[in-house]
Amino acid sequence: MSTKLQTTSSAIARSRAAGDPVAEANARRDHAAMRIEVAIDKALAAAPPLTPTQVKRLSGLLRTGSQR
């Protein structure tokens, strides 16, 4: 597990142990975002450069939360 994911995972555990449901929900949201970030970084590192059209399409997915 990457250091970034360990940090966000630890935040979930701390907020859960503290019994703070709002902080836990925020920590879970942050962890999900970090998992997406790590996956994107990994995919981009292994792929050839994206075209501007591909970047625009992928950016749109992130902006809308993939809601169509």
Rounded Cα gap, residues 34 and 28, in angstroms: 10
**3-42 pLDDT, tens digit each:** 989 999 999 999 999 999 999 999 999 999 999 999 999 9
Condensed to tens digits (0 to 9), the pLDDT of residues 39-66 reads: 999 999 999 999 999 999 999 998 988 6
Return phi, psi of residue 34, to 5°: -70, -40
